[in-house]
Amino acid sequence: MTRTFPAAVDVAIVGSGPSGATYARILSEMAPQASVACFEVGPLLADPPGLHVKNIKDAGERAAAQRRSEGPQAERAAAAGTRMVRPGTFLLPDGYRQPGEDGLPGAAMSSNVGGMGAHWTGACPRPGGRERVGFLPNLDALLDEAERLLHVVDDAFDDAPYSQEVRRRLSTALDNGRDPGRRVQAMPLAVVREGDGRVTWSGADVVFGERSRTNSNFTLFPEALTERILVEDGYARGVLVKDLRNGAEHEIRAGKVVVAADALRTPQLLWASGVRPAALGRYLNDQPQTVFAVRLREVTTLPDESAQSAPGQTISKHSGVSWVPYTDEEPFHGQVMQLDTSPVPLADDGVPAPGSIVGLGWFCAKDLQECDRVEFDAYEQDAYGMPAMRIHYRLTERDHSSIEESRKAIRRAAEALGEPLDEEPRTFDPGASLHYQGTTRMGLHDDGASVCGPNSEVWAVKDLFVAGNGVIPTPIACNPTLLSVALAIAGARSIADQLNADRN
């Protein structure tokens, strides 16, 4: 089918993940008269757009949706080998490690409507201590609004078998000396209870919401590669987009441009467009990740038959998820998942009781360094025809110490719960967390150490905004989506206010 690209819009959004969807949603709510177009390089997987793939009931359709998210197949094949790759993602095929460095061998991306929000585990913990963006006085209000858009709840699986017992055992082992708000608790999750009793994962579809989908001034264009931001006299004036269905290029004028790709491809597009502030691509932050699995001791039967999944249940009622929050004294956070929620296989099938195998994942806050960065090649191109990426990344002595302390903490948690299924926890290669941050980081002042200001507008180019995990400036260990959506809300409100002021 042919489709018509607009000649001009008020706002062009690049990327349809949770942060891009946030801009569409807030603009649809606050400035519904504005024309907004969202361009996504990947395909539409399901209806509604941005649906989490785990909500696709048919297993074959779900697997097909994951495969369609895996980018250029040649690029995926080139990355094959011993590196871990998860369904729905594709690895950076080369350039992920430079000689003498640790690199990011686990660096991966997704290309699809909804971005990584179509594949994530929905964990939305709030940052604490040094994780918080201290120069934002309204951060808690923004986090409240992010929870609204993502539909975050903290009691989704209180009826899961053993979840209360898991938390009791973890609390006994880990809570001593912690402030009340940072003790073991249920993990806040982005999920939706449907009218028929099913529980489904929130994807970007939930963030878009009906306000975006019914907004006649909003249009989503899948399989549309944004090749350049059009910059004139220090202002963003539009985007150059290639229709991947037929190869045609379209120049689309825009009053505001929002780049909400991931933390690797957002700086890639800015660099390709000649927008190259000193901090672009720098302070690259991954979260060193360690996993372990245990069989709960002294549990053999379900404590309550009502906790079993109903026929057609999208999320198993065995999906208890507990949270061990980050603290400045222990700069890592843990998520403890009854087996079916883990994105990484942790145990064999054939467990004695549903929900009695528990996966533990501990994520460390990275020691931020300017030299940890993604660079771009002026001559070599990736499979999309964009500048090829080169990752520079090193773990510091502080990082190694933090990883070792997290391994000790995960052992303590495992011993409190039951019998470990392996002799030692497994620490993944850098990049495996998929929680990359910092490459378009926010700052309070244009001091050369940040790319954008508190409202996410790029210092160097007016009317150009960045969004996504790359904007996060702090060394967070918790899952970053809630915070990146909160920061996107501030940026979207700023644009809406400007559009409304211009209209009046």
- The pLDDT, as a whole number, for residue 41 is 98
* CA–CA distances in Å: residue 268 to residues 176, 222, 259: 45, 19, 10
- The pLDDT, as a whole number, for residue 196 is 77
Helices (H), 38-138: 59-68, 73-78
- The pLDDT, as a whole number, for residue 364 is 97
The CATH number, out of the four listed (3.20.20.70, 3.50.50.60, 3.40.1390.10, 3.40.50.1000), of the domain defined by the range 1-62+104-151+203-286+436-504: 3.50.50.60
- The pLDDT, as a whole number, for residue 310 is 45
The one-letter amino acid code at 424 reads E
Render pLDDT for 340-399 as a digit per residue (tens, 0 to 9). 544 445 455 444 566 688 999 999 999 999 999 999 999 999 999 999 999 999 999 999
User: Are 262 and 17 in contact, with CB atoms under 8 Å apart?
Assistant: yes
Angle among Cα 459, 461, 465 to the nearest 5 degrees reads 75
Alpha carbons 291 and 284: distance in angstroms, whole number: 22
Query: Read out DSSP for 239-286?
Result: EEEEETTT--EEEEEEEEEEE-S-TTHHHHHHHHTT---TTTTBS-B-
- The pLDDT, as a whole number, for residue 155 is 86
Q: Beta strands 189-193 and 218-221: pairing type?
A: unpaired
Alpha carbons 34 and 52: distance in angstroms, whole number: 28
- The pLDDT, as a whole number, for residue 33 is 97
Per residue, the 3-state secondary structure of 25-42, as one string, reads: HHHHHHCCCCCEEEECCC
List the structure tokens of 227: 């090749």
- Residue keyed to tokens 């309204």: 138
- The pLDDT, as a whole number, for residue 97 is 97
Alpha carbons 494 and 500: distance in angstroms, whole number: 10
Secondary element (H or E) of residue 297: none
Query: Read out DSSP for 389-456?
Result: EEEE----HHHHHHHHHHHHHHHHHHHHHEEESSSS-EEPPTTTT---B-TT-B-SS-SSS-SB-TT-
- The pLDDT, as a whole number, for residue 149 is 98
Residues 6+ apart with CB under 8 A from 373: 281, 282, 283, 284, 391, 392, 393, 439
- In 313-372 the beta strands, taken as DSSP E runs, fall at 321-324, 332-338, 357-364
Catalytic entry in 52, 333, 435, 445: 435
Report pTM: 0.94
List the structure tokens of 442: 């926010």
Asked, as a colleague might, if the bond just before 48 is cis with ω within 30 of 0, I would say yes
Q: What size, in residues, is the chain?
A: 504
Residues of the chain with pLDDT under 50: 305-313, 341-344, 346, 349-351
List the structure tokens of 232: 């004139």
What is the distance of C-alpha 348 from the center of its chain? Answer: 28
Q: Is 435 a catalytic residue?
A: yes
Domain limits, the chain:
1-62+104-151+203-286+436-504, 152-201+288-364+394-429
- Residue keyed to tokens 């607009």: 6
Asked, as a colleague might, if the bond just before 303 is cis with ω within 30 of 0, I would say no
Tally the C-alpha atoms within 13 A of residue 445's C-alpha that lie toward its C-beta: 1
Tally the C-alpha atoms within 13 A of residue 461's C-alpha that lie toward its C-beta: 27
